[in-house]
Structure 1
Amino acid sequence: MFAALTTAALPAAAVITEISVLSREPYGEFAAGKFVKVEVEARGTLSPTEKIPGLDKAPRNAAGLVGYKVPVTLIIPEMPTGGNGTLIVDVPNRGRAVSHGLYNSPRARPIAVGSLDQGIGFLQDRGYSLAVVQWELGEGPALPMFESGGKKLYAEGVGFAAVRDVALFLRRDSYERVYGLGYSQTARFLKSFLVNGFNEVDGAIVFDALHVVNAAAGGMPLLDAGPGPTSVASETPGHTNAEHRGVHEEPFTYGEVMKVAGAKYKKLPLVMVNHTYNDYMGGRAALTRTGTKGTTDLPIPDNVRMYDIAGAPHTMSRTKNADCVEGQGQLDWAPALRAQLVALDQWVKGKAAPPANKLFALEARPTDPEVFQAPKYLSGAVVMVPKLDRDHNPNSGVQLPDILVPIASHGYMNSPLSVMACRQAGTYRPFVKEVLEARYPGGINEYMGKMRLAVQQLVAERVLLEEDAVVIVNAAAENPSFVPTRPRARGATTRN
């Protein structure tokens, strides 16, 4: 299908009515074969009776339908028979693709959100196809516009429908499985997409699985109409606007999410949820476990797995932000996401259940200024945060080798907390020489021995892939914090 993509008109009854190819170029050669990058424009139509605010007021075509168009970027096998039969729909964060930053990032220099650089080629080596579907007002889509009260407004909820309909079109006759991927803002998009009934049309499933990365406690108030030029869903609550409404709203727990969704679908998707340390400290993520009535963990549904990454910042960058007091967090947590995707894929295929939930042990810190506490409008809510060990690292959750065998503290928030980029950045505070020597009196050999055991443990638990284990061990062996053992001098003899 994709090898011959050209401008194509589709039957009038189809929701996506036209696909126009804007450009096509080689992307690279990988273990799974050659891939191409294709830029397309997808045009679709919707019934004005669909429950999207403002759609009934928007202009209609001759058939009485409301039109829209969205840009889509495809990275797909060159040959129609290539790939592994799975399409990942990347829901971009503020117009920026997230898939390669999350899955293809190398250890020392992560791929920036918005870049589709190859990186380590993880997705393509394993044969995944990728579709980046723009949905957000101001980031490329042409959404239906209408007038109300003398104002021009946009039916922004069409963003949900656009992702749905492009995904359904792409999977037709081409893919056995389709997964939705969202990060931060668009992880919240996927939660609300599911809750609001967009994952099924006349019995046809859109996403078999969702990878919800760093949504924290939020959803997305996209079912609204806004004046532009930016989206009604662009603002998020933080330390300076703690009472902002629309993001931190019911349903919070995944039990509640699935209860609402279960009434709307014949089949629920499998869902993997990833949270970082910063998502608890600065995003009220604990509410996805406790809800808004106390501090007790509530049951997580069988179709959901939740993994908390100890010491991980919300963002993946390693470069210091000039607005922040401290340097960026340095923990490489992309390996955890790669292991999650592999486990999710095996789960969907029925080959193996994923690892059990790995969650932070939590505590309340109501007087800690670093903690983004519950808003006043959730009067019964208590924001819990991860417990820390003697090194100021979380003592539970998915503890990657750099946390299990530490040479630094990863559990401090950056500042100022009033700057979103800083409260998401994390920190990295290396142990001073005296602490390092006391922790590892055997020097680099003791450190490496513990690191190898930690890596083996995580691989056995299936929260780390063997290919990443090799990279981590090699990086540890080259760590400049330890002085290599001096070699034996030439000509030295052993005395009896």
Structure 2
Amino acid sequence: MLRPFAAAVVSCIAAGAFCVAASAAVTRVEITERGELPAFHGYERIVGKVHFAVDPKLAANRIIADIDLAPRNAQGLVEFTADLFLLRPADAAKSNGTVLLEISNRGGKGMLGMFDLGGRPDPKSAEDLGDPLLLEQGYTLAWVGWEWDVPARPGLMRLDAPRIAGITGLVRSEIVQGQRTNRASLGDRAQIPYAVADPKSATMTVRDAPDGPRTTIPRSQWSFNSDGTGVEFESGFAPGRIYEVIYQGKDPAVAGLGPAAIRDYVSYLKQSGPDHTGEVKRAIGFGTSQSGRFLRTFLYYGFNADEKGARVFEGLWAHVAGAGRGSFNLRFAQPSRDGHPRLNLFYPTDIFPFTDEPESDLGLTDAILAQAVKSHTAPKIFYTNGSYEYWGRAASLIHISPDGKRDFGPSPDTRIYYLAGTQHGANANPERRNTENRANPQDYRYPMRALLVAMNAWITQGTPPPDSRIPLIGKDELVTPGALAFPKVPGVQLPKEPYTAYRLDFGPEFRTKGIVAFEPPKVGKPFPILVPQVDQDGNEVAGIRVPELAVPLATYTGWNLRDAQIGAADVGMDMVGSFLPFPRTRTEREKAGDPRKSIEERYASREEYLRKVAAAAEPLVRQRLLLERDVKPITGRAGARWDALMNPAGGGQ
């Protein structure tokens, strides 16, 4: 049975919709769909839109870039709206009191797939739920649109942010294609780009390496398309080369209202909620990749204090964000731009500071938590990164000194967990797609589920979570790429170098006002980049080693190489790791000259292998890094992997 509307629900002007009265920054919540979740009895699904109005004079809103230039209503407030999607217990008594709010990655909804092992973004049937851990434990699940440039497509979460008419500024659009084409968007991926103010002054360059010389392409050889959202290049964009279009953009969105929307809606939920039942007592913010960088940025600017100075998130979890922040509160911000070996280079993503505690570099001392510590609103924090993030997202910088010579421990209320031997996304198909090697199929979602239970116990009951699991310089577990002891596996080459973060200068008002004056930025010295050390099989020795890594059938890496057909063949592939199966037999190993022991030399039988996998899970369960309920499916996956590799007809190699 659905929870009845409270007396605060009033008719909305929009036909067929409802509005829930609110206060402070959230002026009303317009509910357009509401009903029982058919896939899980006792949960309801709410779709709507949140209306905000923030006072630009309040201290909490002074941190929003360009808030003084934003258009205001008759009361002097800045108005904006955000899409809303909620799944919550219909009976408040069955709520666990925690809202788990996922920061949407480019408008998507991914945490059901993460924590419920394949749950769909908008579940409509039991098959869409996966293993419904989140619903069984009584979480309120929330998504709020925060990104202004998300395309208007069904199911995506968007922020409708006001534009600042008449303002112009530099915009840089990087273009790297996987095949020759004559057209490219000015926006990152599918995102909406900024309008072009002055087509004639725009330039386009090309280079072959991040630090390579740029060659200017004559203006007569390329043009903007008819609607100004892309470029057309007569000769064609060559695969793997790095093109940059720099132009004067106009009418920027007030992008910093995105983190304000997250802040103010969570505060609203905790104060009253849609039905004023008050079942939400605490909040966890979770974000993957772009969204994890958003949360690190959210902390850095001080958004974890609401308009009244109260803590917003009790727990905050940035997953596979590496060392990054991003363009989330800048003029002409491009929130989707990140930074990878061959994607989105030299954007304001991997910029100092990197650590929660104060660190110093080039005369500047700063910390991710500086503002939260000052306002007494620092949350409990999890940072989870895999092997790819050390190779492709400079993750070592969050726990080493800026000179790379010593370990830099996390703050007392921060845990850093390294998911050894994993790529950016979990549970990939082990096949080649524009890569030299097969993709890494390791599934880190199982420890993620256990860590969620630990995080909620930490913020609810004060139970400390497992200690950090990171590779350490002091134990020779974190090394320079040149010191990596990777075995000489026939036909396998390492990337020329890992992704490198540089000291970047975007102009004199970048740190104080969020204004970029230099595009491309002035590039200084690189930061040190360290990678996890490996054993004789090429598997990493530190961190959380899931059973399939501890009892291996293959080498699992966080790096892969680009296929020569897409260009830059010696460069690491963005976000993809490698799956390098061991030889099946001793004869195969000796014939290939592979230094790694074969599968038959390691395990007498399939049964022995699976016993060892189950045994490897036991200490992880005791350490609260795996759930007991997940040991059986983990063992099942291991058995399927054995069958695929040892049965040639199964496509193992």
With structure 2 as the length reference, what TM-score do the two structures score? 0.68
- With over 3 angstroms needed to count, the CA separation of the structure-2 counterparts of 1:2 and 1:392, relative to structure 1, is farther
Match of 2:251 among 142, 152, 161: 152
Taking the aligned partners of 1:25 and 1:162, their CA distance within structure 2 comes to 25
Whether 1:324 aligns to 2:435 is yes
CA distance in 1, matches of 2:47, 2:629: 32
User: Equivalent residues in 2 for 1:462-477 (5 A)?
Assistant: 462-477=624-639
Instruction: Quote the residue 1:492 is aligned against.
Output: none
Partner of 1:64: 76
SS in 2 for 1:75: strand
The structure 2 residue matched to 1:193, chosen from 270, 285, 298, is 298
Partner of 2:25: 15
- Identity in percent: 26
**Cα distance in 2 for residues equivalent to 1:483 and 1:21:** 54
In structure 1, list runs of 5 or more residues that go unmatched. Answer: 485-496
Q: How far does residue 473 in structure 1 lie from its aligned partner after superposition? A: 2.3
How far off its partner does 1:238 sit?
Answer: 2.5
Post-superposition Cα deviations, 1:188-234, rounded to whole Å, max 9, x if no partner, equal 100110111111122322100011111101012211122xxxx5222
- Give 2:138's aligned amino acid: G
User: Which of 250, 254, 257 is the equivalent residue of 2:356?
Assistant: 254
Q: Secondary structure at the match of 1:410?
A: strand
**Matched residues in 1 for 2:461 and 2:553: separation?**
39
Q: Within the alignment, does 1:167 sit opposite 2:266 as a pair?
A: yes
8 Å Cα contact 2:422-2:558 kept in structure 1: no
Amino acid at match of 1:431: F
Alignment of 1:375-394 (within 5 A): 375=502, 377=523, 379=525, 381-394=527-540
1:101 aligns with 2:247: no
Q: Which amino acid aligns with 1:145?
A: R
2:326–2:337: 8 Å Cα contact kept in structure 1?
no
The one of 600, 609, 622 aligned to 1:460: 622
Contact 1:94 1:136 in 2 (8 A): yes
1:270 paired to 2:376: no
Alpha-carbon offset, residue 143 of structure 1? 0.2
Tell me if the contact between 2:502 and 2:526 (Cα under 8 Å) persists in the aligned partners. no
More divergent stretch after superposition (232-241 vs 298-307): 232-241
- Range with bigger deviation, 268-277 or 352-361: 352-361
Q: CA deviation at 1:141?
A: 1.5
Deviation at 1:26?
A: 2.9
Q: Pick from 302, 321, 328: which aligns with 1:222? A: 328
Which residue in the other structure is 1:295 paired with? 405
Give me the whole-angstrom Cα distance separating, in 2, the residues matched to 1:88 and 1:480. Answer: 38
The answer to whether the aligner puts 1:118 opposite 2:129 as a matched pair is: yes
The answer to whether the aligner puts 1:90 opposite 2:102 as a matched pair is: yes
Distance in 1, matches of 2:387 and 2:138, equals 31
Residue of structure 2 aligned with 1:405, choices 551, 554, 558? 551
- Residue 398 of structure 1 deviates from its aligned partner by 0.2
State the partner residue of 1:429. 580
Offset from partner CA, 1:326-375 (integer Å, 9 cap, x none): 33211111011101111111111235211111112211015951411343
What runs of 5+ residues in structure 2 fail to find an aligned partner? 10-17, 151-157, 169-249, 272-277, 359-366, 472-476, 484-494, 504-522, 586-597, 648-653
Name the CA shift for 1:462/1:470 in 2 (closer, same or farther; >3 Å).
same
Q: Paired residue for 1:439?
A: 602
Match of 1:225, SS state, is: coil
- Any conservation in 2 of the 1:48–1:66 contact (CA below 8 Å)? yes
Does 444-453 or 461-470 show the bigger shift? 444-453
Residue 525 of structure 2 aligns to a residue whose secondary structure is coil
1:350 to 455, 461, 465: 461
Q: Give me the TM-score of the superposition, normalised by structure 1.
A: 0.88
* 2:221 aligned residue: none
RMSD: 2.6
Query: Whole-Å Cα distance in 1 between the matches of residues 270 and 621 of structure 2?
Result: 33
Distance 1:384 1:242, change over 3 A: farther
Distance 1:186 1:437 in 2: 43
Using the alignment, how far apart are the partners of 1:128 and 1:154 within structure 2?
Answer: 33
Q: Matches of 2:377 and 2:540 in 1, distance apart?
A: 36
Query: Is contact 1:292-1:382 (8 Å) kept?
Result: yes
Q: Are 1:98 and 1:182, in contact at CA under 8 Å, matched by a contact in 2?
A: no
1:197–1:9 CA distance, 2 compared to 1 (3 A): same
- Does the 8 Å CA contact 1:252/1:291 hold for their aligned counterparts? no
Describe the SS at the equivalent of 1:379: strand
Residue 39 (1) aligns with residue 47 (2): yes
Q: What is the alpha-carbon distance in structure 2 between the residues aligned to residue 185 and residue 9 of structure 1?
A: 31
Alignment match of 2:391 (pick from 244, 257, 281): 281
Structure 1 stretch displaced more, 41-50 or 158-167: 41-50
Corresponding residue for residue 479 of structure 2: 363
Name which of structure 1's ranges 155-164 and 467-476 shifts more when overlaid on structure 2.
467-476
- Name the SS for the 1:471 alignment partner: helix
Shift of 1:142: 0.9
SS in 2 for 1:428: strand
